[in-house]
Structure 1
């Protein structure tokens, strides 16, 4: 009787692991699609206008891929743009602080 309970539990755990693996594969597929964004994705996620994106491209501020009339921004393009435009926080002089 104990062995039957054990076998049932192993089968149950195996099914749960398989379900988790399946969910992980779905998440991997979704994140892989996150690599390329078009203008609509940029406008939605960065909350900028189409005109702003066009200006950034025209001014050479952001790299992009163009196939025909379609414009794409790779994850690397977006990250590079963000890094080039990052503003460093000011360093506080803690020696002047007094309580």
Structure 2
């Protein structure tokens, strides 16, 4: 292996997040993107009418249950990854729909 490749593989960013946190973030984004994919009309309607949480209450509840089953308590209790993923979806959709 050339030395330059060895060095690249060996170096990690100083601020690399723990794998369990990266996994929790990925899961949160995946759950939210699935909700957006399978409920496109409701997501858009909810964002346009500011009723996102009400229209998708069942899906949000299921998302929280799945996230709780798959993410350790110590991560869930000290982070907001799932909420952040929902906020990112809403912000992205607002931009797409040209909503302030």
The TM-score, its normalising length taken from structure 2, stands at: 0.23
Greater C-alpha radius of gyration:
1
Question: Which is richer in strand?
Answer: 1
| TM-score, normalisation: structure 1 | 0.24
Task: Flag the structure with higher helix content.
Answer: 2
Larger RCO (alpha carbons 8 Å, 6+ apart): 2
